[in-house]
Amino acid sequence: MKDYKKIIITATTANSWIYPEVKNWAQTTDELIDDVVECYEAGAAVAHVHLPRGKEVETVKKIRDRCDIIIQAGMSSESIPKREGDFKAKPEMMSVMLTHHAEHFTQMKVDILHPLNELEDYCKKCKEYNIKPEWEVWHHGSYWNLNNLIDKALLDWSKPNILTLFFNWPGGTWSPPSYDEYVHRRKHIPPNCVHAVSVMGEDQMKLLVFVLTHGGNIRVGTEDYPFIAKGVPAKNNAEIVKNYIDICRHVGRDVADPSEARGIMGLK
């Protein structure tokens, strides 16, 4: 195996959009904070968190009082004004969709445009609050938009850009969770980027094992797939994280702690 950098594991703690009946995720803010801390103790370096609206600042503070996990504020489908609390909470990263949302879930549908002028505003706003964007990549048009932002000098090209590549999320931006699709999309990643992969549904492990044995980072948790095996719901997100850490160790990938992950991703 190549001498890859340590793998960064992101735990996504939100509800499952395609298995809403499982309900093995946090139901209250206190449960969410406990869940994030348990993921950190299990070995995750990053927590992708949908911060409770109106409680963003206190939630981030309470997490940081208990551990040094990297906090990544989710809900990229929302507009900048709706995420004002996320900015004020000052997480290390914030999820930003590079193209449009076109998702079809069990209990809801999402169809939201994110034009270039909004992405430009995100760059400026994130810089103002010293938050690093985590760019969501759903197809190759995402790279065109990212390069456009770089060409306009809205991003510091000398530091790594953080990407998450999405597969098998149902809707108009769907892509297959296949080896070919991952290799093809990875081939076109712009220079100086650190990428993770999110896979929704029961094909998750098949692709993520391929990703982690080929130098990529992984995102796992109840939002993406709330099961520990087919038909077996995980007890919690920490169990999901531990399961993938065991796989990483079995195939020889060392797992990054939050301090090491900050160095890899160019975070302070």
Digit-coded pLDDT (tens) for 170-179: 999 999 999 9
Predicted TM-score (pTM) of this structure: 0.96
pLDDT at 215 over 80: yes
Query: What is the amino acid identity at position 82?
Result: K
Q: What DSSP element (H or E) covers 215?
A: none
Q: How do 9-12 and 217-221 pair as beta strands?
A: parallel
pLDDT at 132 over 80: yes
- For the chain, list the domains and their CATH numbers: 9-265 (3.20.20.70)
| Residue pointed to by tokens 């390069």 | 147
Which tokens is 118 given?
A: 């909004």
Taking residues 113-139, report their average pLDDT.
97
Digit-coded pLDDT (tens) for 56-112: 999 999 999 999 999 999 999 999 999 999 999 999 999 999 999 999 998 889 999
- For 233-261, give the DSSP string: E-SSHHHHHHHHHHHHHHHTPPBPPHHHH
- Helices and strands: H and E segment counts in the chain: 9, 12
What is residue 158's predicted lDDT score, i.e. its pLDDT?
Answer: 79
Q: What DSSP element (H or E) covers 89?
A: helix 84-89
Which tokens is 175 given?
A: 């892509």
Residues 40/70, Cβ–Cβ less than 8 Å: no
Cα–Cα–Cα angle for 183, 167, 45, rounded to 5 degrees: 90
Residues 201/168, Cβ–Cβ less than 8 Å: yes
pLDDT tier, 156 (very low <50, low <70, confident <90, very high otherwise): confident
Digit-coded pLDDT (tens) for 228-261: 998 999 999 999 999 999 999 999 999 999 999 9
What is residue 159's predicted lDDT score, i.e. its pLDDT?
Answer: 87
Q: What's phi and psi for 181, nearest 5 deg? A: -65, -40
Look at residues 163, 168, 235, 242 and name the one whose alpha carbon lies nearest to residue 199. 168
Q: How do 227-229 and 217-221 pair as beta strands?
A: unpaired
Digit-coded pLDDT (tens) for 252-264: 999 999 999 999 9
